[in-house]
Amino acid sequence: MTVVILARTRMSGAKICIGGMSEEGQSFRLMNAQCNYHTNACVYMVGERWHMTLQPCEGLEAPHLEDTAVLKSKLIGIEPNLRGFILHRATPWTGGIDTIFEGKILFTYNGSGYISESGGLPGASTGFWIPNEDLQFSDHPRPAYSLRNDCRYLAYVGTAKPEPVIRSGTLVRVSLAKWWKPRDADDSLELRCYAQLSGWY
């Protein structure tokens, strides 16, 4: 099938996560043939159109149901209008930051967004959002975007140079990191998937 590359997301070490969408509107987290993450040397770049042979990875755990192995791939062109391509195939969340991930997003005391089993799981771990206010970039204490005068934020994990401001009405891609909690956390603390922003169109 034809897949358009929509995001390159930084992970720990040299790992990188590749997000894509098919012509039919199916979202994928594109893994290598062994269902492992790619490295920074990965050839897939945002905006490219590829013909791919895909196979779903085994052992998927909700909400991360998009993991798919790329068995074969061939570059076939460039998508000139990513925003149009996405909006023709996906329905973005619109409004404030509390609307993303079907309104099931929660926030820590310091403003970091996440989802948890107790709060309810969204149907997917990737999606699109059109914020109703400008998003301001800050790199303290970590790269992130937040609404003006709002402590809630989304970590910025894209590989593109961040814009100082993402204007309201811009289409942005959001995703959920894998289940995690600190190693020294109390047993009563449940696993969380932290929310992140990986691109805009």
The answer on 121 and 53 residing in a single domain is: no
**Which is more confident, 13 or 145?**
145
Exposure of 20 by Cβ count < 10 A (0-12 exposed, 13-18 middle, 19+ buried)?
A: buried
The answer on 102 and 68 residing in a single domain is: no
Single out the residue in 64, 84, 104 at which a domain terminates. 84
Best CA proximity match to 132, nearest among 90, 97, 107, 86: 97
Here the tokens at position 164 are: 């100082």
The answer on 190 and 103 residing in a single domain is: yes
Number of domains the chain is built from: 2
The answer on 186 and 107 residing in a single domain is: yes
CATH number at residue 20: 2.40.50
Reduced to 3 states, what is the DSSP secondary structure of residue 22? strand
The answer on 105 and 128 residing in a single domain is: yes
Query: Quick one: pLDDT at residue 141?
Result: 80
How far apart CA 157 and CA 144 sit, in angstroms, is: 8
The answer on 195 and 126 residing in a single domain is: yes
Question: What pairing do the DSSP bridges indicate for beta strands 27-31 and 67-78?
Answer: parallel
The answer on 175 and 114 residing in a single domain is: yes
120 close to 23: Cβ distance less than 8 angstroms? no
**What secondary structure letter does DSSP report for 83?**
H
The answer on 142 and 117 residing in a single domain is: yes
The answer on 165 and 116 residing in a single domain is: yes
Q: pLDDT by residue (tens digit) across 106-130? A: 999 999 999 999 999 999 999 999 9
The answer on 109 and 157 residing in a single domain is: yes
The answer on 96 and 49 residing in a single domain is: no
Q: pLDDT by residue (tens digit) across 154-166? A: 999 999 999 999 9
The answer on 104 and 66 residing in a single domain is: no
Single out the residue in 84, 106, 134 at which a domain terminates. 84
Single out the residue in 52, 69, 84 at which a domain terminates. 84
Domain that holds residue 111: 91-200
Q: Which pLDDT band, with edges at 50, 70 and 90, does 172 fall under?
A: very high
